[in-house]
Chains A and B, each alone.
Chain A
Amino acid sequence: MIYAGIFVGNLLEAPPNQALRFLSLLVFGRIGKSRHERDGYGLMSVKPIWLSVALACFLAWFTSPVFAQDTSSLQGRVLDAESRLTLPGATLLLTRNGVQIGGQATGPRGRFEFKGLSAGTYVLTASFVGFQSKTDTLDLPLTDRLDMYLAPVQTFLEEILVETQQLDESRFVAGLETIRPEDLSRVPMPDVSYDLAGYLVTLPGVVSTGDRGGQLFIRGGTPTQNLVLIDGMRVFQPFHVVGFYSAFPADIISYADVYAGGFNARYGGRISSVIDIKTRNGNKEKVEVSASVAPFLSGAQVSLPVRKGDTSVMLSVRESLIDRVSPGLLGSDLPFRFGDRYAKLHSYLNQTSSLTLTALQTHDEGNLATGGDLDPDAYRKSTWKNAAYGMKYMYLPESQAVMTSLSVYYSSLKSRYRPTRDELRTSDIEDVLMSIDFAYLLGPNQIHFGIFGNTNFFDYKLGRLGTAGATGVTSVGSFIEGQFQISDYLRIEPGARLEIFSRGLKNSFGPRLRLIFQPGGQGGHHQFSAAWGRYHQQIVGLNNEQDVSDVFTVWAASPNNTPVPKAMHMMAGWKGRPLPWLELTTEVYRKNLSSLSFPVFGTVINKVAQFSSVNGYAQGIDTKVEITNQDVFFSLSYSRGFVEYNRPFQRAKGIFRPSVGGATYLDPITFNPPHDRRDQVNIMFQYQLGANKLGVRWQYGSGLPFTQVNGYYAGLSSEVEAGNTDFLTAPGSVSVSRADPYGSRLPSYHRLDVTYERKKTFTFADVTAMVGLINAYDRANIFEYNIFTGNRVDQLPIIPSIGLRVDVQ
């Protein structure tokens, strides 16, 4: 056992791919070989040794300081090369073999220290505002002390932002996941380019109801409770009708901050989550062109300097082909069409200021009808168009560490929905936002303060029932948030947001607080974080949640006579990096929700739902294990969640009117809403060998709630008239009798995706070819069961995918 413990102790220091091979042999053995035969690792026995391995790992983990006789620490200072003064708040990044080991900022005396480092070669990079970055290579334990001298230079704003991002990258914040383009490329997709939506659904706590409709639920929150921003512009319907895709291709993304909850004060107007996408700037030195072709989606991107070194333009366009190729490729029609366009101009006006102009347009069209034998003419055509335009001016004076930004944004969403061929429902929303933000950069501390004004316009018409409205809401507000490094171990981030509304809407005040605790100081292997906040949502989106194929959403201001939806978030988590290639994350959360609008079950097909007010909560635990090295990436995530709503006794409400069609009183009930997925597992594996890349993903989700049916009958209630017996012979309208709301569960969902890429480099271009299988074992995952037609619709079947991409520089 001791021999195994020592061996496993060395194993844990071995490169992870070798470690994985070794573990697999230990676990599964080699079939057909003598139990005493040696293999390449010198083992005497190839019989599975479950218990010994587990105990050895346990011993190795907790006695690693004993075995790791060659761990040491690296300490030093960062100084001004000219004045020889120390630089507090300078950023340090320590890597080994291309893998980040740690990052920290220097303390008040310009000192830093990285602990628990094993022997080997490291690369240390130091940077600071107004100074030229410096990189040194060192060998431990030969060099355990290093002073780094930085030469002062004039710094462009972009470098400041990059440094800020590096500082955030090393910090773990509860509820926050920062996504990089390289993360997106790990998810097998039906085409050779990648997309943010494909990665989002791999995150623990993110639930998708299917591969069509574009609806994401994040830690119990509904799609209309999520705030999605791209370079500050709001996008109301950010996901395309085919669930693999969003309006954000990987090529344009610099990084994306996904707050599954507990977001800070700079964000408001939503009560569940924030997805804040920052795009990269175009290349200011040379022209870059890339184009990709694939059955689902094809696109092109151009990045070029307008004024070399100062100004660049980036353009991206994508268009779907699936509706044209699906009959031949899949043997069935997929009547979906979608696309997006993005443009960005970025210019350094001078050494201290920059200007950014951005534009986004998307279009989606799809018939989500679930016809079949019972209703061959079923028709559910949805179309929507996003448009967003923005301007941002940033200024950082040379003599002060205060960054000022002035922003103006316009966003709109136009939705059209035909539940039948002769009925049309429309909903339009426009949003104009102006803001001035100040960022005080005080070394390791920061204070952000902003004031903003916002105007929304809503216009909706709901078909035959004639319900319509056109209103506007204006608000002004401010926020303040701080990031304070109290000590090497503790950082606090308090914040508050205040917003005042017109039209008699109740004002909102939202306090926020985050804590980050690092027991080993900055650069330590473990971090703990907690977040808390109160949130309000005055602009609400109403849709028929009980019908997953009905994605039409009416946006409007919360009615004056009803409470505004509110939430309180609490979350806490731990992130550990016990080994350079191993990262573990665990997070628990709870969201208390109140005054949410939830549709009332209708008995008649295509009837606009009435709504009720519900309260509830969402809670759960998300865990993730990641193994990363140059060639191999492995990720296993598991989430366990629980969402519950309760509806008190009340009178049903029509859309923004007290009632529609007479007074309907609702009994109190408690139920789990249709996005309450209890268990979710995601396993991703990627292996890169030279120009070849293999990606595998398997995902599992437990069944979502649905409402069973007692049966069907001819509805005549509205036709019964006193003294008139015509109703006795009337055929009536098809009506459904439902059982207890969401009292049953759909089958579980799982799917295996596999892709293989090979890249070939030519003189002027890189060419990447991809083949793959989405839903490789053709699992019939249910999308919905239409209770009115009796038709079951499954999600996409096995999809062979092929794609070609050319990158020209």
Chain B
Amino acid sequence: MKRGILSYLCCLVPLVLFQACDNTIEPLVESESTNFALHGYLDMRTDQQIVRLEGLRPNILSEPVSLEGVEVSTIDHTDGTVVIWRDSIITLDNGTLGTVFVANFRPDLGHEYSFNVGRNGVTEGRATTRVPEPPVVLPATPVGESENMKQHLVLIGLKDQPTKVHILYEVSPPNETERQVISVAYGDPGFLSNAGWELEISLGIDRFIILNALGLDSVTQDIRLHNVEMRATLFSEEWQTQGSEFNLENAHGFFGSIGVFDGGWDIDSSAVRKLGFIDNQQRN
């Protein structure tokens, strides 16, 4: 028994000392998969999508990690479309090289997309985004006379600020059949309410803008109004929490989406007449 205890101690003491002598530190996690950093967004306003991709480096001064063999694709989880992205080398502002991935497609409103990065068919990093749903435009009855006429709109279902809002008037000058679209910029108007996003358009002032754009004087009558619609840029929720990375898996950076909404409505005929227009809207 004495020898047993002695043997135990002879084994234990060196083990303790060995462990205490170990002085190494492993700052990097050993992992076979490469984590990525990606920055970019899907943009409905363009046919070409670009995302910058980078593999995590072992230290801050090391060369960019090679992305050879990396496969990038997006999946449209609404209709199942898969798009394969191709890589392209770019020169950064500091003279070093970087890598972007490019794809030719245009995302759709309300669709959910995943951006997948991997090798050999295995997804190693992933980002998701949902292009905002198109809101329903609910117009109120215009109020006011001619120059002061305004109309209140509610964009039902919209929870975030629409930006770069334009009201598009499709009109024909008197005695002409050709149609022209006059765009009136409204910037980033409105406010959020329980119903959605609410904003007000100034029909009376827009009339003057239209006349001016057509080169007509303010007393001109008989302008035919064919169509009124709104165009707005909508941002996905990732833009509100930029940097939180909640929609990224095994990845860092930012990934969101931008949608463009076009939605029209009919203005009441009597209001059209008060504006001095001829109502030629094709009512739905």
Contacts and interface: CB of A to CB of B under 8 A. Distances in A.
Interface of A: 48, 50-51, 374, 603, 661-665, 700, 706, 708-718, 720, 722-723, 725, 727-731, 734-735, 737, 739, 744, 746-748, 750, 779-780, 782, 785, 787-790, 792
Interface stretch (B50-58, B75-83, B165-173): B50-58
Contact of B28 (A50, A711, A718, A729): A711
A662 B242 contact: yes
B61 A747 contact: no
Contacts of A787: 27
Interface string B21-39: 0111111110100010101
Contacts of B258: 722
Contact of A788 (B58, B60, B252): B60
Closest 3 CB pairs of A and B: A711-B56, A713-B37, A731-B94
B213 interface: no
Contacts, number: 143
Contacts of B52: 716, 727-728
Contacts of A713: 37, 54, 56-57, 252-253
A358 to B, nearest CB: 43
A792 B60 contact: no
B100 A728 contact: yes
9 contacts: A51-B2, A663-B244, A665-B241, A714-B54, A715-B253, A729-B93, A730-B93, A731-B96, A785-B27
Contacts of A700: 20
A790 B59 contact: yes
Contacts of A723: 43, 45
With a 10 A CB-CB cut-off, give which of A51, A716, A788 has the most chain B CB atoms: A716
B193 to A, nearest CB: 21
Interface in B219-243: 233, 235, 239-243
Given A710-B56, A789-B60, 15 more contacts: A662-B241, A664-B244, A706-B25, A709-B27, A710-B31, A710-B35, A716-B52, A717-B242, A722-B233, A722-B235, A725-B50, A727-B39, A746-B25, A747-B24, A779-B23
Given A729-B91, A737-B56, A748-B22, A708 B253 contact: no
Interface of B: 1-2, 5-6, 19-20, 22-29, 31, 35, 37, 39-41, 43, 45, 50, 52, 54-62, 65, 90-94, 96, 98, 100, 233, 235, 239-246, 252-254, 256, 258
Contacts of B92: 729-731
Contacts of B62: 712
A485 B184 CA distance: 89
A712 B27 contact: no
A792 B59 contact: no
B28 A51 contact: no
A54 B262 CA distance: 90
Contact of A728 (B19, B50, B254): B50
A739 B56 CA distance: 12
A661 B27 contact: no
A70 B61 CA distance: 77
Contacts of B25: 706, 746-747, 782, 785, 792
Contact of B98 (A717, A718, A720, A729): A729
A665 B39 CA distance: 20
Nearest to B98: A729
A782 B35 contact: no
B112 to A, nearest CB: 19
B31 to A, nearest CB: 7
A722 to B, nearest CB: 6
Contacts of A748: 19-20, 22
Contacts of A739: 29
B56 A720 contact: no
Contact of A744 (B26, B39, B61): B26
Contacts of B40: 720, 728
Contact of A708 (B28, B55, B65): B28
Contacts of B6: 48, 50
Contacts of A735: 37, 252
B24 A710 contact: no
B26 A708 contact: yes
Contacts of A727: 39, 52
A572 B256 CA distance: 56
A728 B90 CA distance: 9
A374 B39 contact: no
Nearest to A743: B29
Contact of A750 (B20, B65, B241): B20
B18 to A, nearest CB: 11
A727 to B, nearest CB: 6
B139 to A, nearest CB: 27
A729 to B, nearest CB: 5
B188 to A, nearest CB: 12
A663 B241 CA distance: 6
A739 B35 CA distance: 11
A661 B98 contact: no
B57 A374 contact: no
B29 A710 contact: yes
A731 B93 contact: yes
B26 to A, nearest CB: 7
A50 B2 contact: yes
A739 B252 CA distance: 12
Nearest to B95: A731
B90 A712 contact: no
A652 to B, nearest CB: 9
B90 A729 contact: yes
Nearest to A744: B26
Contact of B61 (A374, A714, A785): A374
Nearest to A782: B25
Nearest to A726: B93
Contacts of A779: 23
A622 B168 CA distance: 78
A712 B57 contact: yes
Contact of B241 (A664, A722, A792): A664
Contact of B254 (A48, A710, A720, A750): A720
B242 A720 contact: yes
Nearest to B39: A716
A789 B40 CA distance: 28
Contacts of B55: 711
Nearest to A784: B25
A678 to B, nearest CB: 13
Contacts of B29: 708-710, 739
Nearest to A731: B94
Contacts of B1: 51
Contacts of A662: 241-244
Contacts of B243: 661-662, 664, 717-718
Nearest to A720: B254
A792 B24 CA distance: 10
A710 B33 CA distance: 10
Contacts of A780: 23
Given A663-B241, A785-B27, A712 B60 contact: yes
A727 B253 CA distance: 12
A789 B61 CA distance: 9
A691 B115 CA distance: 78
Contacts of B244: 662-665
Contacts of A785: 25, 27
A709 B19 CA distance: 23
